[in-house]
Structure 1
């Protein structure tokens, strides 16, 4: 197991000019996907608030 960890560390050190930009690209991709999910969640949340406000005004007026 220690041999494998040493090999992985050596690989990362030797190819750091390739590994670091690839990891940065994956990180940016994950951030973009997360941002789209957050926007979708907020859109859903505000649409439900608007619907509740409309229904509350429609069915609970005296």
Structure 2
């Protein structure tokens, strides 16, 4: 694995390390993580709770 990761990869890793508790039901997903998608000037991070299927989305806009 490369030591030089993009800022977007580092942000996803931060979410994976600290943001895995579902805000809806409180379930902590120790096996999962955030999905990352990009489209144009946006990078979207999404966490889907395996317990209640709630979706949490964070978005970074590139200008």
TM-score w.r.t. structure 2 length?
A: 0.24
Structure with greater helix percent: 1
Please tell me whether Structure 1 or Structure 2 has the larger radius of gyration of its CA atoms.
Answer: 1
Q: Which has the higher contact order (CA 8 A, sep 6+)?
A: 2
TM-score w.r.t. structure 1 length?
A: 0.24
Structure with greater strand percent: 2
